[in-house]
Structures are given as structure tokens and as C-alpha cells.
A = this chain, B = another copy of it.
Amino acid sequence: MTEAPSERTRVKRRHDRGKYDAETVHGILDAMPICSVGYVFKGTPYVTPTLQWREDDHIYWHGSSASRMLETCVDADVCVTVTMIDAMVMARSAFNHSCNYRSVMVMGKAYIIKDPAEKEQHLKAFTEKLFPGRWDILRPVTAKELKATMMLGLSLDEASAKIRNGPPGDDEEDYALPIWAGLIPIRTETLASTPDARNLPGLSPPAHVTSFKMG
């Protein structure tokens, strides 16, 4: 990916928080599959949540072939944003309260992946990224399912990360006040899995279920 910001992706407010290197951008995209896809339909902005996955210097997302979001994004300008809040930052004034966060914004024209074999390869990559080893134990995907799936890709050429990490930054004179300040750390927790009521007897959750993490 291009490691210099474009005019569109350069972080403008608090540019000290902007990062453009692949390691940072990939790390955030890989940690958090939930993303928000922004697009314009009839002149109006829409933001649709979905899951993204990264392969090399591209991200992908998918859904029903009947999805208006996906259809509208084909060959159109989109903005895909991924955000994790790591802590509430409690300061001595309301004004200096903040959050510690990691976010990535990717801009560009989304493209459609039409070839069924290529689609299947990407679906496998998505499944294996979230749940290593799962693809091969699943009932194989069918041609009908591939047809019912629309898949989009987006280059990371115009991607930027923005990160805040650290203690509250108070006005110097406020540090003398007897007000508790500090961080409330926040994370995404995965709880113990619950088996489907219709599982066949004797099945245990595979390692890709018991060790699943995100965030």
C-alpha cells in the first residue's frame, strides 16, 4: 500500500494522531472485522455496518446479491471505517475528557468480484482468518450460494489510521484539583460458546471457536 497520505486521507484534526504505515493500518483492520461502509445513494450519505476482512493490500466485504448497499458501492466512491475504543479517558474538566481509540479509514472506489472461483477463494480466506481450520470442516459452498453472494473489494492505497493512546491531558493548573482522573479500559470480550440445540451428539467446539478473539 502507499504509505504517504493522499489529500483525502491525511488526518486533519490532531494530525499527531495520524499513522499511514502498513503495519499500523493492517493491525487495526485485522483486529476488528466490524466496519462501517459509507456510500452515497441519490445524493444522500448512508452508513451500513458489516464485516470486512483484509488480504494483502485490499479489504473485502460481502452480502446478498440483492443488497442495495453492495449494488450502490460497485465502482463508486466509498469510505470504510473501522473503530475500536480502548479506554474512556477521564480528566479533571469536561473539556479534556476523551477516548483512547484505534481507527482506520479507507477511501476509494469499490470493485466487484464476479468470478465464482475467485469469490470462493476470498470466502475461504475470510472464514480462515476468523476461524482457522473451519473452511475444510464445513459443508462445501455451492454454485447457487456463490451466485447469491455479492462481494466487493477496496484497495488500501488510500488508508489512514488515527490513534489516541495515553493518560488524560489536563490544563496544567487543573492537576492541583482533588478530582479523580484516569482511564477506564474497554475491550471486546468473547464469552464461552453455546452449542446449537440441533448439534449432533458428542460434538465439541473446535479450537477456532474456543480460542476466538476480536478487538
Residue ranges of A at the interface with B (Cβ–Cβ < 8 Å): 8, 12-13, 34, 36-40, 43-49, 51, 63-64, 66-68, 77-81, 83, 85, 88, 90, 92-95, 97, 99, 101, 103, 105, 107, 123-124, 127, 130-131, 134-135, 137-139, 141-142, 145, 148-149, 167-168, 170, 174-200, 203-206, 209, 212, 214
Tell me how many chains of this kind the complex includes. 2
User: Which 8 A-B pairs rank lowest in CB-CB distance, beginning with the nearest?
Assistant: A38-B47, A36-B36, A189-B189, A49-B83, A38-B45, A47-B81, A185-B191, A181-B196
Residues of B within 8 A of A175 (CB): 198
Q: How far is the CB of A141 from chain B (nearest CB, A)?
A: 5
Tell me the bound Cα distance from A102 to B209 in angstroms: 22
Taking CB as reference atom, which chain B residue is nearest A201? B178
Contact of B48 with A81 in the complex, beta carbons under 8 Å: yes
Q: Which residues of the partner chain B approach A199 to less than 8 Å between Cβ atoms?
A: 180-182
Contacts of A37 in B (CB 8 A): 47
- B13 close to A105 (CB less than 8 A): no
Q: A79-B44, A145-B93 are in contact. Are A182 and B168 (CB under 8 A)?
A: no
